[in-house]
Structure 1
């Protein structure tokens, strides 16, 4: 990207949220109960809370205070900065009297002294900008020694794992988000190696790389499963259930926090980066080696060995799945998600993580669906290849599929009693 295009993109992104009407829309969008919106917020705020440190926190690009206000409630002394006064005004309104300092500032030129804060947090900001190095150096300037920078970014490793670097083979949606001339769609992506190399050069330790967003939909696409999930209306309908189903949200939080968060940046399209302001090249290289080993285990579908890197024993996961997969909606969601993994990567010992009773039920559902697909294929072939007559004004092609399905299931596959509700 040229310096000219870079500057134009940065300016466009900076100015995008100056309009009070746009800010009001955005504020409502952040709290509306639709699809996986609440799950995404819960996961993101939960990760920030897990890694925030010290007492004095700066929230850079605070927006409407989505990260700042929960930290204020937790007792931190929070300063929120944003380039948009309209955003700051909305944050002040939402704070409803809570103690928070708000200042208008450029995220690359913070008007604070060196080492003014213990921790810098930035949520859904750096994903929009190509000048990540300059931004992180400025954020690091205002952080005290051993303090932290916590931010989210899109994962370049994930995209490379899904499609490689031949952009002509990428889906249109991915190419749009990778085009620096498409200001509205552009999203910044970093690889683990880029982050670790930057940390080594600039005197940071990469405390954590936390992948998330395996199935959040919207602008949080899982490119590994894109053709199986995100492109389909049926998947979007399933994701809409999260807005009304607390059991489904509990399942989603468990998968994200207890499994996905402990994988590598190749696993999902989004990740949180936690940098600590101290030198530690050897620690960074240990992390690089760990990520390499984990990627190999995932690539070879060695779930039993991968379990060693998860935070709990296998029995914990089996018991959690046993409880969380009782509701019908939860089963349906998880079956689709599991199917997409098997379709993309082939069969693996992932089922061992679920326990025998859960695995048996889900496998029986898959077998039933496969049988349905076989029958539908046969019916469609019969109805399209034969020249069927019109009887009493009714085209027989339209009335044949349903009874023919029943005959196939009952007499040929012997999987149906013929009794209908």
Structure 2
């Protein structure tokens, strides 16, 4: 089965984004919006486990997981991203493979855990991607998924749909992803928000979860198969 046109266009666009992404990925993972992701993963997944980093981009997040003692395989739909990722690290416990998350080149129940950060939004049918992630995950394995908050800047990629133009980004809300996952057999065992700049803990203290999600740049979910 070949790639659908949506995913071919996604690969093309991420090839074009690769150099710019690479120039800012370290800051994102070390000081920015992604700095809490690896600590979040470590709460649930013991060192030494095999982790699949789906939509790994230039591999900085994969590299950080490998530094923490995990055995990491990174995949991305963009060939240029994979080339950048391979340049970043030559560690024994990390490898990078070009692959679409709806057609992963792995046998059933290969990985102990999966990480996918703002990648499911770029699939044409996220429920199919979730099924494929479940296929390659071991029984009782963990999925860490991050979904963009309502006002996150990358949502600009889907704006032109309002003009009736074709886009290649599914701008699902965090609560929509949570419902999709639960309806498809995943168990929610943990979650955490990455808040927009200007939002502090005092503002959030009395808010219900759905309003916290509304103020987030990104929402982290830990799901179990």
Query: Matched residue of 1:59: which SS?
Result: strand
String of CA shifts for 1:374-403, please: whole Å, max 9, x gaps. Answer: xxxxxxxxxxxxxxxxxxxxxxxxxxxxxx
Using structure 2 for the length normalisation, give the TM-score: 0.77
**Runs of 5+ unmatched residues, structure 1:** 1-6, 160-172, 217-221, 223-251, 278-421
Using structure 1 for the length normalisation, give the TM-score: 0.44
The CA deviation at 1:98 is 5.1
Which residue of 51, 60, 65 corresponds with 1:66? 60
Which residue of 53, 61, 81 corresponds with 1:87? 81
String of CA shifts for 1:291-342, please: whole Å, max 9, x gaps. Answer: xxxxxxxxxxxxxxxxxxxxxxxxxxxxxxxxxxxxxxxxxxxxxxxxxxxx
Distance 1:40 1:84 in 2: 22
Which residue of 9, 12, 17 corresponds with 1:15? 12
The CA deviation at 1:60 is 0.7
Q: Name the counterpart of 2:221.
A: 273
Rate the CA distance shift 1:91–1:15 in 2: closer, same or farther, 3 A. Answer: same
Residues 66 and 94, structure 2, Cα contact 8 Å, conserved in 1: yes
Residue pairs, 1:177-256, within 5 angstroms: 179=162, 181=165, 183=167, 186=169, 188-192=171-175, 195-196=178-179, 198-199=181-182, 201-215=183-197, 255=201
String of CA shifts for 1:203-252, please: whole Å, max 9, x gaps. Answer: 22111232222327xxxxx8xxxxxxxxxxxxxxxxxxxxxxxxxxxxx7
Distance 1:174 1:17 in 2: 12
Distance 2:133 2:159 in 1: 29
Q: Name the counterpart of 1:264.
A: 209
Residues 118 and 148, structure 2, Cα contact 8 Å, conserved in 1: no
Which of the pair has more CA radius of gyration? 1
The CA deviation at 1:63 is 0.9
Q: Name the counterpart of 1:148.
A: 142
Query: Matched residue of 2:15: which SS?
Result: coil
Which residue of 6, 13, 23 corresponds with 1:28? 23
Query: Matched residue of 1:18: which SS?
Result: helix
Rate the CA distance shift 1:115–1:96 in 2: closer, same or farther, 3 A. Answer: closer
Which residue of 43, 47, 61 corresponds with 2:36? 43
Residue pairs, 1:16-415, within 5 angstroms: 16-19=13-16, 22-32=17-27, 38-53=31-46, 55-97=49-91, 99-155=93-149, 176=159, 179=162, 181=165, 183=167, 186=169, 188-192=171-175, 195-196=178-179, 198-199=181-182, 201-215=183-197, 255=201, 264-267=209-212, 268-269=215-216, 270-277=218-225
By relative contact order (CA 8 Å, sep 6+), the higher-ranking structure is 2
Bigger proportion of residues as helix: 1
**Runs of 5+ unmatched residues, structure 2:** none
What is the RMSD of the two structures over their aligned residues, measured on CA atoms?
Answer: 3.3
Residues 53 and 116, structure 2, Cα contact 8 Å, conserved in 1: yes
Give the 4+ runs in structure 1 shifted more than 4 A: 177-180
Between the two proteins, the alignment pairs up a number of residues equal to: 211
The CA deviation at 1:72 is 0.3
Rate the CA distance shift 1:80–1:212 in 2: closer, same or farther, 3 A. Answer: same
Rate the CA distance shift 1:76–1:214 in 2: closer, same or farther, 3 A. Answer: same
